Structure formats: C-alpha cells, structure tokens
A and B are shown apart, each in its own frame.
Chain A
Amino acid sequence: MLLEVKNLSVYYYTLSGVVRGAEDVSFSLREGEWVTFVGESGSGKSTVAHAVMNLVPSPGRIVSGEVLFNGKNLLTLSKEELREIRGKEITMVFQDPMTSLDPLRKVGEQIVEAMTVHGVPEDEAKERAKELFRRVNLPEDRLEYYPHQLSGGQRQRVSIAIAMAFHPKLLIADEPTTALDVIVQDAIMDILDGMKEEGTTIYFVTHDISLAAERSDRIAVMYAGKLVELGTVEQIVENPLHPYTKALIEAVPDLWKEGEVRAIPGYPPDLRNPPSGCRFHPRCPFFREGVCDAEEPELREVEKDHLVACHFPGGWRE
C-alpha cells in the first residue's frame, strides 16, 4: 500500500462550536491507481486530503488517526522530514492555483525554485522547467510571465508542472478543475492521466461524480464527514449500495442520461451537531426508525473491494 489512512478525525474549533469535519475515516491507496473522493461542500473530502499532507488549516486540528505513506506516519514526522517528502514524493494542486503561486514572481522562477530547494542545480532546473512546460502544453515563453498574465487554465497548468517536477509517487488534486471551462478541464484531466501512466498515484477530489466516473479506478464517496462508500468505478456507478451514492448519481445533470434528474431532498447537516446514528438518515428515503437513527453503521466490505457504511445496503431493491 502506498498510502494508508487509519481512523482519521479532523475537527475545526470555531467560535460557534466544534465542527466535526471528518470522522474516523480509513482507506488505502495502491500504487499507480487513481482514486477520486466525491462529496458535497462540507462532506470532509477536502479536509481529509489536506490532513493527509498534515496541512489542515487553522482552526482545524487532526484529533486522531494515522497517515502511513510507504509505512511512515506522516503525522508524527518532524517538519524537516515532512518537507523532504512534500513537494517531492507527495505533491498537491489546489482549486485556486494562486494559493500556491507567488503573484510577484515570474512562474519560471517559481518552478525552478521548487526544484532547487530540493537540491537540483539551477542550470538543470531551468532545463527541466522547459521540459515540464512542454508536458503541460504551455509555450516556453510563458516561463517569463507573471501569474496574473496567464489565464486560470494556464495557471493551473503551471501548478501541475511544479507538482510534476520530481515525478511524485502521489499527487493530491483538490478540485483542480472546478473553476475552469469544460474544454480546459478535459485537457487538465488528460495531463493527470499522463502522470498516472508514468506511475504517479492520483488522489483526486471533486464534487462532480461524473468527472470521477470518467477517469478513476476507484471512487470514495463522503457524506457529512464520513466515508460512506468505496469501490471500483463500475461498482459505484452501476451498483451503488449506499442510498446517498445512488441519490448523488441521480442528481447529476448528464448529457447522455435519459429520463429526469432527481434532486436530493434536504441539506447536508450541521457538523457541529451531526445527526445520531447514520448521518444521512434525515435525508434517506429508506430510513428505518430505531435502526438508522440509533446506531452508526460501520464501513464494511460487502463484495470484493466494495465497502459501504449502511444498515441496509442496496435496500431499495427489496
């Protein structure tokens, strides 16, 4: 296993109470696969992705759990040890590339610096920067541009080029295409596909399950801070077992779907005070009193590689 996350919980200590952003999340990623985490805003998908890098923003705190990367717990490493791994073996791209780019410096300088801090000689870094720009389809002259002179899509290409610099083992991509037009999105996804072909494991986060379905090997569905279902794309898309996964698939506008799109009734819960039992129970059409609201369902394997946290998985078929 390249990455093993065990019982990870992240809470945000806000003035209005403790927000249980992610709770008891466990999963693992195999080397070379593409796993996409899907969920609505506030589902905890981004929180977990940041926690894996030990980068939870304040007032958030990792309250428990382990993140094992090649067997090493990233949460107990020293800052220096972590820095050696981050940016080299594990890299990250964000929804807004400006969060990782310096607006006052040319993008070429920034990509070169990303390499020199890890000990690459400057001349070599400059050569590699050109090569990386070619790989993300940016003309070489863009190295001399400042971030604000580039379009959103081009900026995202720059941050991916930086993330590619060391041929990372793991790329964490948190909604990298959400702000982009579909044609640009498609091109960015192709670049990530190329990284995967060269052996990088892709940990992708999105709110759009159709985007997940097109490129991933496996899909993890999160709801209200919990991992509720995990399986191969075929299992999740063709045979969803959690009512939330089913609802999510039916709610997505899809160009090629016949029939109507059904909205999910209600809203995600307030995570300062999540519902008892299964957190989806207040919105679940298959809710059974005395079970779903009383007991929290465990994530368990119901068929090979297919895990679900529901008392009545696939219960609507009966």
Chain B
Amino acid sequence: MSEPLLKVENLKKYFPVRRSIMESLRKVPPRYVKAVDGISFEISRGEVLALIGESGCGKTTAGRTVLRLIEPTDGRIIFDGTDITGLTQEELRPFRRRMQIIFQDPYSSLSPRMKIGDAIAHPLLVHGLADKEEAKEMALKMLRRVGLTPEEEFYDRYPHHLSGGQRQRVVIARAMILKPEFVVADEAVSMIDVSMRASILELLESFRREYNLSQLFITHDIAVGKLIADRIAVMYLGKIVEIGPTEEVLRNPAHPYTMALIQAVPSIVARRKGEKLRITGEVPNAANPPSGCRFHPRCPFADEKCSSEEPRLFEVGHNHFVACHHPLL
C-alpha cells in the first residue's frame, strides 16, 4: 500500500481549565479539558474520512490541531512523509498551501467588507502565487467552477448579498484556489438548508475527483457522512470509539454509541423504525470524564469492567476497529 498522505498518531490536545484565585492560592493542581485524548488515524490520497460525533466530543479541536491551527499537546502529525508537529510557523508555510480548512459558518468566515472575488483571490496573493491581475483571472474562473455565475457579476458582490448556500460556495472556492491536497471540512453543510446540502457535497466531491483531494470531513450528521466518506470515525469525549469503512460501520455498527447515533437520525425511508437502543443523558463534561469507558454512564450494556477499565481499539472486521468491552458484533 502506498504511504498515506496524512498520518495522525496519538494526537492530544488538553486545554487548561481556569483556576479560581482561591484554587491557585491553595496550589490546587491545574486541571485540563482533554478535548482530544490520543487519537490516531490515516487518510490516503483522494480519500475522505468522516469524523462524526456530538457537540463537545472534540471533533472540531481535532480538525484544527491536525492543521496546527491549534498546537497539539502531544502526538505526531505526519503530512506527506514529513513530521509537521514541531515545525516553526515559517517552516509550515509551504504546507499551509497544501492543507486548507472550510469552516462551518460561512457568515463569520468571510469578511463583510471584502468583495467575494477579492476574498477568493486573496490566498493567491498571500502565498505569492500570482500577481493581482492573474489572481483576479483565477478567482473568476473559480467562481464559475463553483457555480456562482455570471462570475463577473458575483466577483463584485459582498457576502451579505448572498444566500447561505452561495456563501458556502465562496468559502469552498477560497480554499480550493490554492489547489490543496488535503482539506479539513468542519461541519461544512450544517448551517445550510437540507435541500442545499446535496449540491455543496457534490461540489466537494467534484474537487476530490479533480485534485485527488483528501478530506477530513467533520460532521455531527452521520447521514451526511454516509454520502461523502470512504471511512467513518466516531468520536466520543476526545476518543475515537469506532472507525471503519462507511458501509461496514453503518450496516454493522460495533459500538453502542455508534448504534445510538445511527438510530437517532431521522429517515424518510426507514420511517418509525422498530425498537431503538435507548441511551440517556447528554455528553458529560470533558474536564471530568467518566472512568473506564467514557460512554459507560449512558450505555445500556455497561458493567463493572466498563467503569474501571478503558477499552482499547481492536479489529472486529476488515479495517473495522472498535473500542468497547461488549461490542455489538
């Protein structure tokens, strides 16, 4: 097998919790929110890995840490054979062009005072890849490529003139103008209407084909993951609890949490499915995660072992891994 484009090994990101004055006076040791607590995965060229989980599971932090927009606490990030974990910002520069991010909220990730055409051309100028005229030419082409036509007219518009779906196209255009090899798409379709999601996903898919683009697609919606991803990784409280080929994970989920996520997704086809796996409560605070398996307080199958011993990922099927003492398979 060829070398993966991205290799993430035991990545951790801990955020310190602010101590009160009394706590620092009493020398209470600092506590940490373990937002990402030792995750590992690989992404091949042209592959899409969906990172799925609820709010607070650490998926967004994971995506940003992989790009070193947030500095990791521990672990290694290897991009195209180079360990980029310890590179200085200057040394990172050539990699920045090859790795891009698409944010969830197209409203806040575009400057309201910049014409959208200039916003798309901007990265070319920053990276010194084109002069002003060339950059404009390329931005116009890109506008057309993402379906914002007539492109001359769109070039001069401001973000507030556009619908949510159109703005997300601008954000994608801006990320794609540098022809990146890898992109982190963080909830790229969550803020747009369901009816518009398919067209945005199609657009991303077309860039995958054209650039052989690898993607880490972060989403809370497993149905969106199904559409776009080759593999799915499910995250819970800073850990990957299950990872495997999309079809396999959806048809044969091994972790009770994955099962609960799948069953909670509304579906036109499978209206009013039979009995659901009932899980209660909400995701606990990551500053004080449960002992053993972090999912055990919500898990219907939990026993003593689950509350004392942390399960490790092991292979349950071909390329299909789960971290659970009582997998459903």
Contact = CB atoms under 8 A, between A and B. Distances in A.
Interface of A: 40-41, 137, 151-154, 181-186, 207-211, 213-214, 233, 237, 247-249, 251-257, 261-265, 267-268
A253 B163 contact: no
A254 B269 contact: yes
A7 to B, nearest CB: 27
Contacts of A207: 193-195
A214 B272 CA distance: 6
A257 B268 contact: yes
B198 interface: yes
A208 B194 contact: yes
B271 A233 contact: yes
Given A183-B261, A262-B198, A263-B202, A213 B271 contact: yes
Contact of B266 (A211, A249, A251): A211
A207 B271 CA distance: 17
B214 to A, nearest CB: 21
B282 interface: yes
Contact of A253 (B224, B262, B263, B279): B224
A253 B188 CA distance: 14
Contact of A153 (B196, B220, B222, B282): B282
Contact of A251 (B198, B264, B265): B198
Interface residues of B, number: 40
Interface string B136-174: 000000000000000000000000000111100000000
B166 A254 contact: no
B260 interface: yes
A208 B54 contact: no
B24 interface: no
A41 B194 contact: no
A312 B177 CA distance: 43
Interface string B189-224: 000011111110110000000000000000011111
B265 A255 contact: yes
19 contacts: A41-B164, A152-B55, A153-B282, A181-B54, A182-B54, A182-B220, A182-B265, A182-B266, A184-B54, A186-B266, A210-B267, A213-B266, A251-B199, A253-B224, A254-B223, A255-B223, A255-B269, A257-B267, A261-B201
B115 interface: no
Contact of B195 (A154, A185, A251): A251
A247 B199 CA distance: 12
Of A247, A253, A256, A267, the most chain B CB neighbours within 10 A belong to A253
B299 interface: no
Contact of B268 (A153, A186, A252, A264): A252
Given A182-B265, A183-B279, A253 B271 contact: no
Interface in B227-264: 227, 250, 260-264
Contacts of B270: 255-256
Nearest to B147: A265
Of A154, A181, A267, the most chain B CB neighbours within 10 A belong to A181
A58 B227 CA distance: 40
Contacts of A257: 267-269
A182 B269 contact: no
A208 B198 CA distance: 13
Given A181-B220, A185-B266, A255-B262, 15 more contacts: A40-B195, A152-B55, A182-B220, A182-B261, A182-B265, A185-B264, A209-B194, A210-B266, A252-B194, A252-B268, A255-B250, A261-B201, A262-B198, A263-B195, A263-B199
A215 to B, nearest CB: 8
Contact of A237 (B198, B261, B264, B268): B268
Nearest to B298: A183
A186 B220 CA distance: 14
A95 to B, nearest CB: 12
B326 interface: no
A4 B183 CA distance: 51
Interface in B277-314: 279-280, 282
